[in-house]
Structure 1
Amino acid sequence: MKSTLYNFKNRSALRASLVKNRQELLTLHRRKKEKLLKARMGLLLLMLRNRKLMVS
């Protein structure tokens, strides 16, 4: 009985830590995506500015 209770406690703690890790990974991934999007938008703006300069 004692061992099963102990296992259950460990399992729930493990699950909690896994969930936390997954959430951290997801937030990191989201930040990475946002950075990439911002960089891409910046490049597009630069290209548009350069094109406008070339046209005029």
Structure 2
Amino acid sequence: MADHFGDESRPAYLVTCGWCTGIWASASVVPLAYLAGDTTVFQAVAMVLTLSYLAGLASTWLD
């Protein structure tokens, strides 16, 4: 991606940003959680999203 758009481009940033990566992962999981309803799967997905948030938060603290 960076070869095509450049290292400082917005698309390259959206792919490499720790917070953005969490958003991409969450966007792929949330529709599945919505369809699952109030099941163990939903709880597992909610945990994954929470961990994604915490990873983004830790990313800002470690930078």
Q: Classify the TM-score, shorter chain.
A: 0.3 to 0.5
TM-score, length-scaled by structure 1:
0.44
TM-score, length-scaled by structure 2:
0.39
Name which structure has the greater RCO, CA cutoff 8 Å, separation 6+.
2
- Normalized per residue, the structure richer in helix is 1
